[in-house]
Amino acid sequence: MGAKAKKALKKNLKKVSAQLTLSRRKNESSADFLPFEGGPGREIVEKEEPKKDTATVLYIGHIPHGFYEEQMEGFFKQFGKIKRLRLARNRKTGKSKHYGFLEFENPEVAKVVAEEMNNYLLFEHTLQIHPVPPERVHPKLWRGVSRRFIPLNWKEISRKQHNKEKTAEEHQKMVRGILKRDEKRRKRIKDAGIDYECPELVGLQPTAKKIKFDEEED
């Protein structure tokens, strides 16, 4: 081996030795404790404890028609005591939106229900049940939950709206609408090639006229 080769080899050995020394010092400085009998220190790795399930609120989706508050409470109370229950409904019609929320007193019961009843087939609907973490529960979720929805009597509302007194202007507008629809009907019959003479409309006076439904007929 030549002199130049020996010199290059010594230079490389010094370089590698310096790198190893620097690396050892870094490990020793970052260690949480020093060993009793030499050698590099080891870092203590703390094991994270598994988080306990504290969710008591469950989201329930794909709720079938006819499975309302009373039916839901009767079905789910077999697992444990129910604290609150809410079915999402349309504010105007009161119809179910097919999803709701259920709160149990015991988080263990909520966990069992979420695990066992998710994807449960009920009236040709597959229930979707998932726990809602406490930090994600909306503060207004249970507002008005104690009030039960009272459906509107749309027949009574329509009857009162039809039987109310009409002004002359409102009556004329109603007559114009009837005549316009009658004209369109006659045109459709004629365009279809049907030879039929439609009877003339009678009793359409420009003055206000009140026609009442029989309240006993529903």
Is pLDDT above 90 for 113? Answer: yes
Q: What is the pTM of this model?
A: 0.50
User: Domain map of the chain by residue range?
Assistant: 51-165
Rounded to an integer, the average pLDDT of 159-183 is 89
| Residue carrying the six token digits 């406490």 | 134
Check: CATH 1.10.10.10 for 51-165?
A: no
- Burial string for 121-130 (b: 16+ CB within 10 Å, else e) reads eeeeeebebe
Whole-number average pLDDT of the chain: 79
List pLDDT tens digits, range 41-92. Answer: 555 555 666 566 688 999 999 999 999 999 999 999 999 999 999 999 888 7
In whole angstroms, what is the distance from residue 104 CA to residue 83 CA? 5
pLDDT of residue 25: 64
In whole angstroms, what is the distance from residue 112 CA to residue 78 CA? 12
List pLDDT tens digits, range 1-35. Answer: 566 666 666 666 677 677 766 666 655 555 445 55
The model's confidence at residue 208, banded by pLDDT at 50, 70 and 90, is: very low
In whole angstroms, what is the distance from residue 125 CA to residue 65 CA? 9
| Residue carrying the six token digits 């040709």 | 124
Is residue 131 within 8 A of residue 57, CB to CB? The reply is: yes
